Structure formats: structure tokens, C-alpha cells
Chain A
Amino acid sequence: MAAVQETVDRVRRIDVDQYRYGFETLIESDKAPKGLSEDTVRFISAKKNEPAWMLEWRLEAYRRWLTMTEPKWARVDYPTIDYQDLYYYSAPKPKKTIGSLDEIDPEILETYKKLGIPLREVEVLEGVVRPEGERRIAVDAVFDSVSVATTFQKELKQAGVIFMPISEAIREHPELVRKYLGTVVPTSDNYFATLNSAVFSDGSFVYVPPGVRCPMELSTYFRINERNTGQFERTLIIADKGAYVSYLEGCTAPQRDENQLHAAVVELVTHDDAEIKYSTVQNWYPGNSEGKGGIYNFVTKRGDCRGNNSKISWTQVETGSAITWKYPSCILRGDNSRGEFYSIAISNGHQQVDSGTKMIHLGKNTTSRIISKGIAAGVSQNTYRGLVTAHRKATGARNFTACDSLLIGDKCGAHTVPYIEAKNSSALFEHEATTSKISEDVLFYCVQRGLSQEEAVGLVVNGFVKDVLQQLPMEFAVEAQKLISISLEGSVG
């Protein structure tokens, strides 16, 4: 039939033009010399005016990294990365010292405007029609290696919340940074995390003091702009006793033929009765129809429920990147602590996703919940890899896992690799998994009722991921829903 042929053709055309964020901003930048050595590490540290202990910390990580080898166990395939062929630091050249938002390079402001990220507080405040109940959002914008703007600083300060670029926090709150940095993801953790520890340039730092409920959503927006530049951001979020914070990160990059490396580390710490909700909408450039270009996304994200009755919840919508290697995890150390992982991972074209989570039950009566929705289209490969363990002392540990995969077309693959280990006989772990193909009959039903083929796929997929979308902050749920439809455009054949 003609209709089928047409959609098959469309699949072949899945191309860069569908990526809405592929533009490049032309600005002057200040770069470290290409390649990685102790000098590069010293250069970055000096650029950031870091104290000696920070430099030592980085150098130790660098030396460690030299002894390590790149992990190969994930179900992803990519050419060897030449770590000497990358720039490890790139900062937009400031026209002068930035004192307020007005002094930011207009090109950069324009970039964020194009991306739909409000950096001007006034715009946010004066937004003409604000739906009732919509919360305001404080944004930290990271452009290549540096943070260019953080909004709502004053208001957050009043609440006692620290939200600033980590480079600033190292200088202004060294006692906090020293106390927590590397305690969840140690410098020796894994190849990419160790690399990050040596060369990270910026990222966000959040500290919510005891008993404080952060008055607004916090958000960091990462943009890789410079060519051949790796982005190594580091995020550290601490919720002290009884505190609560909801944090969202978004990511985009220009379209380029070469692959770019993104190796981030995120550490979360919750003390007694505290809660962190961490949401990600990841939309790095995925590469073109031949699988050329795109971001290599090797990320280590881990939360430590250090206190009793604390909670960490990860929600992720992964639609971008050529390769995703990412397992946001929870260490459930405190008694009665709870970890959650809600994930939508969509792969199309030549994308490869190997993502999942680890729930490590150490404390008593700890609970965790994993809801993973993988959607594979085109010739992509989509793997869920998860680990649920109960330590000897984790009496009463409970986990519920549901992994659902949806296949669109017949050239993609979905894989589920769950590891379950219980060393305590009272642990109760449940695992459910399904794999299904998007059914021709369902699509025909929808188009018979007037939906276009693409609207039909979008509708069915949004139904499939509904449980997870509901976990996102409301403003982003709508955005994510649109993103899902865009990512799957032309994927039916």
C-alpha cells in the first residue's frame, strides 16, 4: 500500500532537520589547549581560581584515570574516543566582568531565548498570562564549560537556599563542597566519573538547609556549543534534614558531524526526612540519518539517602544523544528511605541507549520503585539495565520493577537486563517486564478516526509512557509530551 511505503520513506529521511536545537551560536571563546594532561587539569583549576585542595583532588582523580580502562560491557558500539583530540575547557569570552544579567553576551541570551529558557527574571515575572498555580523556576544556565547566569538568587537566598554554579560554591562555600563532593560518586568510581572529577568545569550546586522547602523549582540548562569540546559538568545537591527540593535539568547541542563527549557526574544527598526530586529532559543532538555525529552521553548519577525516612526520586525523559550510558541510582542507606526511578528512553535512527538504574538497599524497611518505558524505532538499540540488591542488614527491603518496551518497526531492538540480588531473606523484590510492538490495528483504528499516522503514533506512545510523564513537574510534562512526538516523527513503517 502507498501509505506504508510513504512512511517507510519517511523513516529513511529521519534527519537532522527534525532536531530543533541544532543551531550554533557564534561567539568568541576562551579554550584550554587541546588534549588532556596534568597541565590541562591545572589550567582548568587556575581558570576557576580554585583553592589548592580542589586542584589536589582533581590531580588525584587524573592520575587514577590514567590507570583505568574504558568500560565495554554496555550494549553500545562506537569508535574509540581519542581523549587527546578534545578540548576540555571552553568558556564564552566575557566582554567584561558579568555583574548582572544585562551584561551577558546578547548572543548567549539569544541562544537561551531560542531554546525557550527564561534567563531574564523580569520576563518570568511579567509573563502576561500565567496559569494559576504555575510555579516559578530558577534557572542556572551552563554554556559549554561555564555557568553564564543563575536567576532568582536573591529570593532563594532569603529562603536560605544556596543555588549557584559549583565553581562559585567551591570558592564561597568550601566547607560544604568539601564535605560532600565525591562522597556519593567517589573519584575512583568509574572511568567516566573519574575523568569528570579531573576536568569538570562547571555545573550546579544546591544546598537546602534543614526544614526548608525550596520555594521554587530549580533548573539547570546545559548547552554544548563549541566544536570538539567535551562537556563535563558536575552537579551536587544536598537536602539537609527535613528539606525538600525539586530540580530539573535540560540539555541540547548543535548539529555537528563529529561526535561530542558529555561525561557528567551528579551527586545527591538527602539527610533525615529530606526529599530530592530530580528530573531530566535530555535532548542532546542524536546524530543524522546515517548515524553520523551526535553526543556520546556517559553520565554517572547517584543519590545517597543518607538519613532515615529520606527519599530520592529520579525521573528522566531521554530522547537525544547518539549513545546514552546512564544509570541514575539510589543508595538506600537510611532506614525507611525510599528510592524511585521513572524513565522514558526513546531511541530512533541509529541511536543506542543503555540505561537503567541501581537500587541498593542497605537500611531497614527501605523501599524502591522502578518504572521504565523503553521505546525503540528506526534501527536503534534500546537496553534497560538495572540492579536491585538487598544488603544482609536490609530487613524488610521492598522493590517493585516494571520494565516495558515498545518496538516501532522491525529493524530496532529492545533488551532488558535486570540483575536482582537479595542477601536478606525478608527482602521482597518484584519484577515485571513486557515487550510489545506498536500494533498496525491500533494505528489503523486511530487514522480511521481522523488522526494522521504521526499523531496516531504520538498518541499511542504517550499512552504507553503516561505513568512516567505524570511524575514530571507539570510544566515539563507538556514539553516532554511534545518532545516524544517529535522524536518519533516518521518512525512508522
Chain B
Amino acid sequence: MSLLEVKNLQVRVEEREILHGLSLTVNPGEIHAIMGPNGSGKSTLSHVIAGKPGYEVTGGEILFKGENLLEMSPDQRSAKGVFLAFQYPVEIPGVATMTFLRTALNAQRKARGESEFSTPDFLKKVRRVAASLNIPQDMLRRGVNVGFSGGEKKRNEVLQMALFEPSLCILDEMDSGLDIDALRVAADGVNALRSPDRAMVVITHYQRLLNYIVPDFVHVMSKGKVVKSGGKELALELETSGYAQFEDAA
């Protein structure tokens, strides 16, 4: 069974149709890159999969592990293994990162009927993962993303990905706001999470990111549809030819 099946998805935001009949199939272990110009609907797709309010699905369906994802609340989707790494991770003042990680992890485990992590086990796990991502302990004591640099925010997203062990990771414009060094650290973190049971959907505007996170498939989106799919070489092709050639295809 496919991990994620998006079939003929139609989505509206305030009367305006953003996605008109988008289809995408993702199997476990695969990395899919979704590329396209601004306004092509890339972020909308990621938001609808994660269940962000404000989008109206007018047609089509999304199956996740064979289940109807659209009927689930965002927290249920999270517990089932959908993870969205935000383009702009939010700040939550007064809530220590460590507290947030633990609350979220235990909420997911509880929803799945699993036991909650004990404090020592949890701390051990966080410390190990944080060290591998070069995240200092004092960052974990600070408010969630409060005063974090762009790179720190993205590493914090990867840290959560590593902790929650989702089966589907959607990375929304992970490279935005990062310099090359910060990008490399974040990408290394993501690559370490590649596994035969885990799929990733990497949304990006630029080919650059795909030098670090090498995809199995590349899809080009334009005007709310996938207009071309191919292997990783498609990304390189786009780099030279640009998106303009697809404007009319949509």
C-alpha cells in the first residue's frame, strides 16, 4: 500500500481555487521533491495534508496508510505520523522547548495508545538527538524558537522530526532564510532520518536544497497541478530552463 495518495485534489481558499485536481503518490522510503514558482500551490498542498484550518477541500481525496486523512483532526494526523516542518516555525514565549517537546511527544503517544515516556528516558533521547544536530542544551531550556536564529529554528524542526519519528515528513521551503552552512547542518540532520519506512516530501523553490537532500522523484507544480514528473535530473533541467515553459502547460 502507498503511504500517501493524493487523488484529484481540489482546494479553495476564500472562493478562489488554488489546487485544481492534484494527484501524487508517495511510497515508504521515497523522497519526492515538489518544485514550482511562487503561487503554484506548493505550500497549500503541505497545509492541506497537515490539516491547517482555512482551506476548503471541494473535491478529491487524500489517503494516508489507506485511511481518509481529510476526516482527521490535525493532531490525529500528527499521531498517525504526518509531520510538517514549517517554513517559518512560530515562537511560543514562556514555554520551554524541552517542555514543548515532551508534551507533544507524549500527546502523540497517548493518542496511539502507547505509554508516556518517563523523564529519564525522554531526557536521554532528547540529549542524544540534540547532540547529533549540534543543538546546545541551553537552547532546549529557552522558549520555543524564541530568539532562535533562522538556522536554529530549522534545526529545532529537524530535532522534532527525529524525536517524533513520523512516517511522512513534509519539508516546506526548508532552505528559506538559511545560509549554506546552516543549510548543510539541517540537511545532514534530514538525511540521517532517511529510512525504508519513512517518506519525505521536500517542497522547494530552488534546486539548491536538492544538492543536499537528493530526491528520488521530482514533480513540477504550476497553477495548482503537477505538470511534470521525473527523476532527480528534472531539477537540474529546471535550473537551466526555468519554470516559464510550464506556465502554459497548466
Contact = CB atoms under 8 A, between A and B. Distances in A.
Contacts of A71: none
A409 to B, nearest CB: 14
Interface stretch (A57-65, A184-192, A459-467): A459-467
B107 A455 contact: yes
A441 B47 CA distance: 11
Nearest to B111: A450
Interface string B105-143: 101100100000000000000000000000000000001
B54 A448 contact: no
Interface string B189-214: 00000000000000000000000000
Interface in B18-58: 50-56
A126 interface: no
Nearest to B91: A442
A460 B92 contact: yes
A326 B104 CA distance: 37
Given A459-B100, A460-B95, A463-B143, A448 B90 contact: no
A478 interface: no
A438 to B, nearest CB: 11
A450 B75 CA distance: 4
A451 interface: yes
A1 interface: yes
Contacts of A440: 53-54
Contacts of B108: 449-450
Contacts of A441: 90
Interface in A1-43: 1, 3-4
Interface string A434-477: 00000111101111111111010001101111110000000000
Contacts of A450: 75, 78-79, 104-105, 107-108, 111, 164
Contacts of A455: 103, 107
B84 interface: yes
Contacts of A447: 51, 73-75, 78
B103 A459 contact: yes
Given A447-B78, A448-B78, A1 B56 contact: yes
A446 B75 CA distance: 8
A466 B100 CA distance: 14
A459 B75 contact: no
B249 to A, nearest CB: 31
Contacts of B55: 1
Contact of B92 (A1, A3, A4, A463): A463
Contacts of B89: 445
A471 to B, nearest CB: 14
A462 B90 contact: no
**From DSSP, what is the main secondary structure of chain B's interface residues?**
mixed
Interface residues of B, number: 32
A463 B94 contact: yes
Interface in A112-163: none
B78 A449 contact: yes
A466 B50 CA distance: 30
Nearest to B108: A450
A444 B55 CA distance: 13
A453 B90 CA distance: 16
B93 interface: yes
Given A450-B104, A451-B107, A3 B74 contact: yes
B86 interface: yes
Contacts of A442: 90-92
Interface in B175-227: none
A1 B53 contact: yes
Nearest to B79: A450
A140 B94 CA distance: 34
Contacts of B84: 448
Given A450-B111, A455-B103, A459-B100, A445 B90 contact: yes
A1 B54 contact: yes
B160 interface: yes
Contacts of A439: 90
Contacts of A452: 73, 75, 107
B74 A448 contact: yes
Contacts of A462: 94-95
- Name which of B50, B75, B143 has the most chain A CB atoms within 10 A of its CB: B75
Given A450-B104, A452-B75, A444 B95 contact: no
Given A444-B53, A444-B74, A448-B78, A464 B107 contact: no
A448 B86 CA distance: 10
A69 to B, nearest CB: 43
Contact of A451 (B75, B86, B90, B143): B75
Contacts of B75: 447-448, 450-453
A449 B51 contact: no
Contacts of A451: 75, 103-104, 107
24 contacts: A1-B56, A3-B51, A3-B73, A442-B90, A444-B74, A445-B90, A447-B51, A447-B75, A447-B78, A448-B51, A448-B52, A448-B83, A449-B108, A449-B160, A450-B75, A450-B104, A450-B108, A450-B111, A462-B94, A463-B93, A464-B93, A464-B94, A466-B94, A467-B94
Interface of B: 50-56, 73-75, 78-79, 83-84, 86, 89-95, 100, 103-105, 107-108, 111, 143, 160, 164
Given A3-B53, A452-B107, 13 more contacts: A1-B56, A439-B90, A442-B92, A446-B92, A447-B78, A448-B51, A448-B52, A448-B86, A449-B104, A449-B164, A450-B79, A452-B73, A459-B95
